[in-house]
């Protein structure tokens, strides 16, 4: 399964490798923002059930958000903002590997507001370029074939010995909103 995921990510990387070239390029930035309502928390499982403004349910892994949810009760509302940046880099020199980093920090001046930054990185080494695609060496030392979606898809400057790096940086900010007072108004 891990090799399949590497192949998918690397296939995505190849699609944009010619466009990204050697300096790295932001391929896509996604941003979502919504007001969510806490439905319940399960401290043992480390999860929180929430409902967004459209009524859809979601579950957050709350270990990283523990400080933001201290003292929270079902019905409390939060501003949830998520920004995801995906980048592709093609560099010279072979270096396969993976990386995963999570950090937690206060977000702004709102009491209890927290920001979680999750960065992942996958690097594969191009070991062979051929008419049907590219063979890459993953961080486990396994060779995985990449087949181009379209035979006319250009592979640009990708050459044997190059490294293709796919990086994803996700920033999620969870900020408590004021609770409704006895009169039904915030405060």
Every domain of the chain and the residues it spans? 2-32+80-176
- Supply the pLDDT for residue 14: 40
pTM of the shown model: 0.64
pLDDT for position 33 = 95
What is the distance between the alpha carbons of residues 38 and 77, in angstroms, rounded to a whole number?
A: 6
pLDDT of residue 97: 84
N residues, the chain = 187
Which stretches in the chain have pLDDT values below 50? 1-23, 151-154, 186-187
**Alpha-carbon separation of residue 13 from 7, 19, 147 (angstroms):** 10, 10, 12
Q: Rounded CA gap, 5 and 124, in Å?
A: 12
Q: Give CA–CA dist 81/75, Å, rounded.
A: 19
What was the pLDDT predicted at 108? 67
> What's the rounded Cα separation, in Å, for the pair 106 and 116?
9
Q: How far apart are CA 114 and CA 10, in angstroms?
A: 32
Q: Express each pLDDT in 13-50 by its tens digit.
A: 444 443 334 445 557 889 999 999 999 988 777 788 99
Q: What is the pLDDT of residue 56?
A: 94
Q: How far is CA 135 from CA 7, 78, 128, 154, 160, in A?
A: 10, 46, 5, 15, 9
Identify any residues that bridge with 148 across adjacent strands, giving them in sequence order: none
């Amino acid at each position: 399964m891990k090799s399949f995921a590497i192949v998918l990510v690397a296939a995505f990387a190849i699609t944009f490798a010619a466009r990204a070239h050697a300096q790295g390029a932001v391929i896509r930035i996604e941003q979502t923002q919504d007001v969510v309502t806490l439905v319940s928390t399960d401290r043992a499982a480390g999860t929180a059930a929430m409902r967004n403004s459209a009524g859809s349910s979601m579950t957050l892994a709350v270990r990283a958000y523990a400080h933001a949810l201290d003292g929270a009760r079902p019905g409390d509302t939060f501003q949830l903002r998520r920004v995801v940046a995906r980048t592709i880099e093609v560099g010279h020199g072979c270096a396969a590997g993976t990386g995963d980093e999570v950090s937690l920090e206060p977000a702004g001046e709102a009491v209890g507001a927290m920001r979680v930054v999750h960065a992942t990185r996958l690097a594969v080494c191009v070991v062979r370029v051929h008419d049907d695609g590219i063979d890459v060496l993953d961080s486990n030392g396994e060779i995985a074939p990449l087949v181009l979606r379209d035979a006319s898809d250009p592979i640009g400057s990708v050459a044997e010995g190059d490294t293709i790096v796919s990086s994803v940086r996700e920033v999620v900010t969870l900020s408590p909103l004021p609770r409704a007072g006895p009169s039904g108004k915030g405060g």
